Amino acid sequence: MRPSAAQIARVAETLVRRLVAADVVTLDVPEDRVKERFVALLTKNFDEEDAIDREALAEAEKLVRRGAPGVRREDLDQRKVEQLVKQRLAKARGFVL
């Protein structure tokens, strides 16, 4: 389930606040700009994952419909096939799930 824009903004704000409070980073720009950048990165990451999900679902449906040699179609688990396809796509794109 994809988080809402408000949830992403809250995570980004918390992340920036905690990094600054723990002296892990020293900001040369205002916190708001760093927070906006985190929001953009997190949003892009969730968009990429959604794209992989959609592609994996479509490919898994094709695979299950077509079947596998020596395996009955009824024995193929759509969700399991989808997860395996998703892992393969993510690995090929260098995306960490």
CA angle 1, 58, 54 (to 5 degrees): 30
Phi, psi of 38 (to 5 degrees): -60, -40
Provide the number of structural domains found in the chain.
1
The rounded distance, in Å, linking the Cα atoms of 43 and 9 is 10
Cα dihedral 23, 28, 33, 37 in deg (nearest 10): -70
CA neighbor of 16 nearest in space, from 4, 6, 3, 29: 29
Does position 17 have pLDDT exceeding 90, yes or no? yes
Domain holding 10, by residue range, is 5-93
The pLDDT of residue 46 is: 95
The rounded distance, in Å, linking the Cα atoms of 97 and 67 is 27
Does position 88 have pLDDT exceeding 80, yes or no? yes
The pLDDT of residue 45 is: 95
The pLDDT of residue 78 is: 84
Q: What is the pLDDT of residues 28-83, one digit of tens each?
A: 999 999 999 999 999 999 999 999 999 999 998 888 888 767 667 677 788 998 99
- pTM assigned to the model: 0.79
